[in-house]
């Protein structure tokens, strides 16, 4: 009896470790969602470099990471990605996993504005932050 409980405890600890390793850090997922990329296709460093390049307006560095990393892993259609795409009625090859999840969540909440925003790929447009004029106009 004691041996069975020990094995069960070890199995529980090991399965919890595997489950937590498979999850994406929420902060990194948030950055990936903001950038419109798949969090699983990029390391934490690459996501921060992408974010820095986008905020600095460095389009060549931004494109470099999207083409280098995104082409290798982000375009792959996994079974999970295909399943989410089928649930929301979209082509999995045209969207990142993060975009599909965002559409799925918006559909569940009845947020048609967000659905249209992501489906039309407007979320991939470079965001321009206008600067407030300082001083006085002459």
Give the number of other Cβ atoms within 10 Å of residue 103's Cβ. 24
How far apart (Å, rounded) are the C-alpha atoms in residues 121 and 51?
Answer: 18
What tens digit of pLDDT does each residue of 6-60 get? 445 445 544 444 444 445 678 888 888 888 787 777 777 888 888 888 888 877 7
Contacts of 90 (CB under 8 A, 6+ apart): 100, 103, 119
**Res 70: pLDDT:** 45
- Percent of the chain at pLDDT above 90? 15
What tens digit of pLDDT does each residue of 77-112 get? 788 888 989 999 998 888 888 889 999 999 999 999
76, burial (CB in 10 Å: exposed 0-12, middle 13-18, buried 19+): middle
What tens digit of pLDDT does each residue of 60-78 get? 777 777 776 544 444 567 8
Cα distances (Å, whole numbers) of residue 12 to 2, 8, 23, 24: 15, 6, 17, 21
């Amino acid at each position: 009896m004691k041996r069975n409980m020990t094995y069960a405890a070890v199995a529980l600890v090991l399965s919890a470790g595997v489950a937590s390793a498979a999850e994406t850090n929420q902060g990194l997922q948030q950055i990936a969602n903001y950038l419109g990329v798949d969090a699983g296709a990029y390391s934490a460093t690459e996501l921060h470099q992408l974010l820095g390049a986008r905020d600095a307006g460095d389009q060549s560095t931004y494109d470099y990471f999207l083409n280098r990393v995104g082409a290798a892993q982000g375009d792959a259609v996994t079974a999970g990605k295909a399943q989410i795409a089928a649930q929301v009625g979209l082509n999995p090859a045209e969207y990142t996993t993060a975009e599909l999840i965002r559409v799925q969540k918006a559909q569940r909440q009845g947020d048609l504005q967000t659905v249209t925003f992501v489906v039309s790929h407007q979320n991939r447009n470079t965001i321009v932050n206008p600067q407030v004029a300082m001083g006085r106009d002459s």
